[in-house]
Chain A
């Protein structure tokens, strides 16, 4: 069973995405963080064995304070290469093609998915793993 971490400031989105992922019955745990910094804390806990490293991370771009791109910079700095076991997907409402292009070429990002994340979309991407 897969474990998933959602990083998104919107409670509504997190609720809906959790619902979609759980419906796929592929996942054991779905967690959500509403800020980049709390997500980083969660991941650092995982590197120190206090929590499990998630298999998939869905990352929003537009997060207040520290946005998705800045989260990736912190991630690179805080999580060592060996510890980067999670697949990171960009999950965003951004229709800006520059964001999509940047996500597709970013070395830490495995894919770009536009919101909302439906059960079908999740199954498709989970099948790629």
Chain B
């Protein structure tokens, strides 16, 4: 029996096992994939946060510029109002009365259309020597008109009118030359013939003392192309006082913006939203700076964002990308780990299965050995028993023969019958023991050799010649092949089958037996056909069992061993035995013998 030894396992299998073991671990390419994906995640995160930052910066800068533009635009609008005041003065012949100014100013609807200014007014240039004359003129309509405060400049620039009167009373008569900021801008306006604004001042009429400025536009009594001509022809200024805070109403209103700012004029704060109580706890992260050149002043607009600014940006997007990427990486790593674990587990499972199968095979091999031994012992036992039983039986046979002879004339029928049955029984017993001995001898070592079946059949027919003659049987043998088999077993096979064909012949017709062989690709199929009594199909299988008989011994003597021996022999040869039969017409026994004998079977 071929035995697989685990130590001689197939080298291919071993190599594959090694490969599987290697596959069960994480390798550089796993880590490479992980590292690559991590780098990718970080890059995307970086890129998206940079994009976001850029977008925010752009938006922030844009909004800051928008504010600067709005401030500028708004001041331009006021400038237009001032110049329209200048035009009104010219249209009144170079100067204007309080009443006319009032008519003009009211037509402007300052309250509704110019919400940033406290009013619009006229400043006259008054030479010191004309002071009284000027006062007299003003006092004709406003008796308590005063110029204030006094100063030592050689020119007077008193505010003659300011409309609306209400809320501006403190400004009426104020000499803007008394203070440097106001004076400098006024003179600059005169010399340049352009609108100018003052540096930061506190308006006298502003009770809250908020930073403000004045906006001037000059008017002249004659041609004013050069500085000298302007100084010569300078008559006064149309002006408007501003509180910066009020300027920021309307489109610039704080609540409409996400950007907050302060305006500085040479370090002095004109306007500041940082001190507001709203969102005081909020620390802005962006800051911007815009320079606004406005009517002779350089304003610096410092901007920062409000908390609401961020509402437009989903700032969490890059973080989300980062988190998702890292989660994906972790999942990837887990997947790798799980896969490699599954691989290791299946490998160990396979190993355990192999171990178990090997164990099972070992067990089976042991069982087969045990069975073989016990079978051998049984056959040995049957052989020895049948052999040894024959000796005492012979004695019984001999002495019953003696009795039969001497008691043949006994007057008692019982005695004669008893002696008859004894000798019958001993004969039968001898047949049985011989059959049993033959049967148990079958599986002794087969000596495989090339055998001419014609020779074997001839020998068998010669042995059976007496019976053939007795039955007057006709035996036809077709040419038979040369096969590889065990000689004594093959002979026994033919002997039993031909003897059966003779034994179970019919009384009413001549016994005819045909022996033939047919080949297929792998087998020889032999057939022994007779025209005997036949066998009914329900007995086709049972006749091959040992001691199974279909007939009483008294009718057709037999041991019940012949066909079971035949089956045993064909099985040993690696073939099969079966039959076809019709009761009353005859039987045909077939057996196969493989062309290539498997001697290991």
Contacts and interface: CB of A to CB of B under 8 A. Distances in A.
B553 A9 contact: yes
Interface in B502-547: 539
Given A19-B414, A65-B539, A34 B552 contact: yes
A31 interface: no
B445 interface: no
Interface in B544-590: 549-554
Contact of A64 (B417, B424, B425, B551): B551
Interface in A17-76: 19, 34-35, 64-65
Nearest to B414: A19
Interface of A: 9-12, 15-16, 19, 34-35, 64-65
Interface string B468-508: 00000000000000000000000000000000000000000
B349 interface: no
Q: Label chain A's interface by main secondary structure.
A: loop
B426 to A, nearest CB: 11
Nearest 8 CB-CB pairings of A with B: A12-B421, A64-B549, A9-B552, A65-B550, A11-B554, A64-B550, A64-B551, A34-B552
Contacts of A64: 549-552
Interface residues of B, number: 12
12 contacts: A9-B554, A10-B552, A10-B553, A11-B554, A12-B424, A12-B425, A15-B417, A15-B421, A16-B421, A64-B549, A64-B551, A65-B539
Contacts of A19: 414
A15 B425 CA distance: 13
Contact of A35 (B414, B421, B539, B552): B552
Contacts of A9: 552-554
A98 B550 CA distance: 23
A108 B386 CA distance: 37
Contacts of A15: 417, 421
B73 to A, nearest CB: 120
Contacts of A10: 552-554
A71 to B, nearest CB: 15
Given A15-B417, A19-B414, A65 B551 contact: yes
A113 B425 CA distance: 22
A53 to B, nearest CB: 25
A9 B550 CA distance: 11
Given A12-B425, A19-B414, A65-B539, A34 B554 contact: yes
A43 B307 CA distance: 117
Contacts of B550: 64-65
A86 to B, nearest CB: 23
A34 B552 CA distance: 8
A112 B549 CA distance: 23
A59 to B, nearest CB: 16
A64 B552 CA distance: 6
Interface in B376-427: 414, 417, 421, 424-425
A63 B324 CA distance: 88
Nearest to A62: B547
Nearest to B420: A12
A9 B421 CA distance: 14
Given A9-B554, A64-B549, 10 more contacts: A9-B552, A9-B553, A11-B421, A12-B424, A15-B421, A19-B414, A34-B552, A34-B554, A65-B549, A65-B550
B436 to A, nearest CB: 16
A7 B454 CA distance: 46
Contacts of B417: 15
A34 B554 CA distance: 10
Contacts of A12: 421, 424-425
A64 B550 CA distance: 4
B535 to A, nearest CB: 10
A10 B549 CA distance: 13
A34 B230 CA distance: 166
Interface string B445-473: 00000000000000000000000000000
Q: Which of B425, B551, B552 counts the most A-chain CB atoms under 10 A from its CB? A: B552
A59 B179 CA distance: 154
Nearest to A34: B552
Contacts of B539: 65
A16 B549 CA distance: 22
A55 to B, nearest CB: 25
Nearest to A11: B554
Nearest to B556: A64
A41 to B, nearest CB: 16
Interface in B312-370: none
A15 B417 CA distance: 9
A40 to B, nearest CB: 16
B201 to A, nearest CB: 132
A64 B542 CA distance: 11
A19 B415 CA distance: 12
A35 B552 CA distance: 8
Nearest to A12: B421
A64 B536 CA distance: 13
A37 B550 CA distance: 12
A45 B50 CA distance: 115
B380 to A, nearest CB: 22
B584 to A, nearest CB: 15
A34 B555 CA distance: 10
Nearest to B425: A12
Contacts of B414: 19
Nearest to A63: B552
A11 B554 CA distance: 7
Contacts of B553: 9-10
Interface string B174-218: 000000000000000000000000000000000000000000000
A113 B184 CA distance: 153
Contacts of A11: 421, 554
A39 to B, nearest CB: 13
A16 B425 CA distance: 13
A35 B550 CA distance: 10
Nearest to B551: A64
A33 to B, nearest CB: 11
B571 to A, nearest CB: 24
B424 to A, nearest CB: 7
A27 to B, nearest CB: 17
A52 to B, nearest CB: 25
A9 B547 CA distance: 14
